[in-house]
């Protein structure tokens, strides 16, 4: 059954707003759907897929879709191309003969013959950075995967069930799920079913979480009874994963500067069955609430604010909204947050720095700078950490999970440990007193 012609007008309207890049695409889409309650589920799905197709392929669409006269005609053609790629031109109703012929011509283009930069559908500055890091051939492999939708990954809450039971129960829905290759509690669902109404979801037996994100929680190596801090907790996905790992024992702090993000943790926390999580809103990374815990924490995870270039399968608008100047500002913030978080770690404790970025300056660059400025910390080679956690990945000093190699979002992680104390106990107490006075 064809979609009604009016759907193209809806898609044009919301695309025009999204291409201003004043807000994340998913936020703009959600607001638009809320303001247009008469749109059905099928129509909403088609509009969303169209928008994401345009964002993934904007370079190609702009080059071959800009034949109309004026901005309105160009926007119409962008929507036509997005819809055709997302749901098929045959599903569109109300097309003119010219528009049908236009889509047929575009379909005949062999995109593999386009120049490499055009083929990547990346902004020039990002394409150049990737080529400098990975070389042109691997950049094109990476870009090709970044321009496809991500699968749906789930984390099984082992406080309530196990993977095999969840696979069996999902099959009755019917939803096909397979174990992820790296995360011990992960499942991958290739389609994107509605999970909110499933008893498994309502009871907290499953959470939506990318496999790479689950691996980051494992790298912390947290043990039962320990004091742990998720320093940039956001909506708490990794907090919940860590809580399950330590079986709701010890004390787990979820810090974030955004009260709104931490509010999203509350219903998830209620479903999870965890009783050891303490969400804390902080004003900044050097808040007094942070300083009070100086030198007392066994494990600290810093999943730092970053460019998000590793999440382009899910958030393709990020590559157009982010600019090189913004990345430079982020690296300053990342270094400051990591420095502040490191002060929480007790002697012999572990600190994990992570991002969902693919850019060296946000990853290895920050790790190297931290080690240079903090001689009391040492790098723990990632291959050692992965072996310790029985994660079947081959890495060097750092974790680098790449969409085209590992099937996850792009993630980086470095693991540090604070060297054992080598100063007298009186000196250590004086340091604690100075820290308290600094508050």
Query: Residues within the annotated binding site for S-adenosyl-L-methionine?
Result: 256, 303
Taking CB atoms within 8 Å and a gap of at least 24, the contacts of 254-261 are 254/230, 254/278, 254/279, 254/280, 255/229, 255/230, 255/231, 255/280, 255/282, 255/289, 255/290, 256/232, 256/280, 256/281, 256/282, 257/281, 257/282, 257/283, 257/284, 258/234, 261/233, 261/234, 261/235
Known catalytic membership, residue 232 = no
Cα–Cα dist 371/85, whole Å? 47
What does each C-alpha distance from 137 to 132, 145, 299 come to in angstroms?
Answer: 11, 13, 39
The two beta strands, 206-208 and 178-179, are unpaired
CA distance 189 to 1: 27
List, in order, residues 6 or more apart from 386 with CB less than 8 Å away. 219, 392, 393, 395, 399
C-alpha to C-alpha distance for 225 and 313, rounded to whole angstroms: 37
- Longest CA–CA span in the chain (Å) reads 85
Question: Would you please indicate which residues are annotated as catalytic (active-site) residues?
Answer: 356
């Amino acid at each position: 059954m064809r979609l009604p012609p009016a759907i193209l007008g809806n898609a044009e309207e919301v695309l025009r707003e999204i291409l201003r890049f004043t807000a994340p695409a998913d936020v703009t889409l959600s607001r638009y759907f809320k303001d247009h309650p008469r749109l059905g589920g099928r129509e909403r799905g088609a509009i969303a897929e169209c928008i994401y197709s345009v964002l993934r392929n904007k370079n190609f669409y702009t080059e071959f879709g800009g034949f109309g006269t004026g901005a309105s005609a160009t926007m119409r053609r962008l929507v036509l191309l997005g819809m055709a790629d997302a749901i098929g031109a045959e599903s569109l109703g109300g097309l003119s003969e010219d528009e049908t012929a236009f889509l047929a011509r575009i379909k005949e283009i062999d995109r593999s013959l386009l120049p490499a930069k055009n083929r990547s559908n990346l902004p020039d500055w990002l394409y150049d950075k990737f080529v400098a890091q990975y070389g042109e051939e691997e950049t094109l492999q990476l870009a090709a995967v970044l321009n496809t939708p991500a699968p749906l990954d789930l984390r099984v809450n082992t406080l309530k069930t196990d993977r095999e039971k969840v696979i069996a129960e999902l099959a009755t829905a019917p939803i096909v799920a397979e174990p992820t290759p790296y995360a011990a509690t992960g499942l991958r669902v290739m389609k994107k079913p509605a999970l909110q109404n499933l008893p498994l979801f309502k009871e907290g037996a499953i959470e939506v979480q990318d496999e790479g994100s689950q691996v980051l929680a494992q790298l912390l190596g947290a043990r039962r009874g320990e004091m742990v801090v998720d320093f940039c907790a956001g909506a708490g996905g990794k907090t919940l994963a860590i809580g399950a790992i330590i079986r709701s024992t010890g004390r787990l702090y979820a810090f974030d500067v955004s009260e709104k993000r931490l509010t999203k943790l509350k219903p998830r926390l209620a479903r999870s069955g965890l009783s050891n999580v303490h969400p804390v809103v902080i004003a900044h990374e050097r808040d007094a609430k942070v300083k009070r815990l100086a030198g007392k924490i066994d494990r600290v995870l810093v999943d730092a604010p970053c460019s998000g270039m590793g999440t382009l399968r899910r958030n393709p608008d990020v590559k157009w909204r982010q600019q090189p100047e913004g990345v430079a500002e982020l690296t300053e913030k990342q270094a400051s947050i990591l420095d502040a978080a490191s002060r929480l770690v007790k002697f012999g404790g572990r600190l994990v720095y992570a991002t969902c970025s693919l850019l060296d300056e946000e990853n290895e660059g920050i790790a190297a700078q931290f080690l240079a400025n903090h001689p009391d910390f040492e790098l723990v080679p990632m291959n050692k950490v992965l072996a310790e956690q029985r994660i079947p990945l081959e890495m060097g000093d750092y974790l680098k999970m790449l969409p085209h190699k590992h099937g996850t979002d792009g993630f980086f992680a470095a693991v540090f440990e604070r060297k054992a104390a080598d100063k007298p106990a009186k000196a250590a107490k004086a340091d604690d007193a100075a820290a308290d006075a600094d508050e």
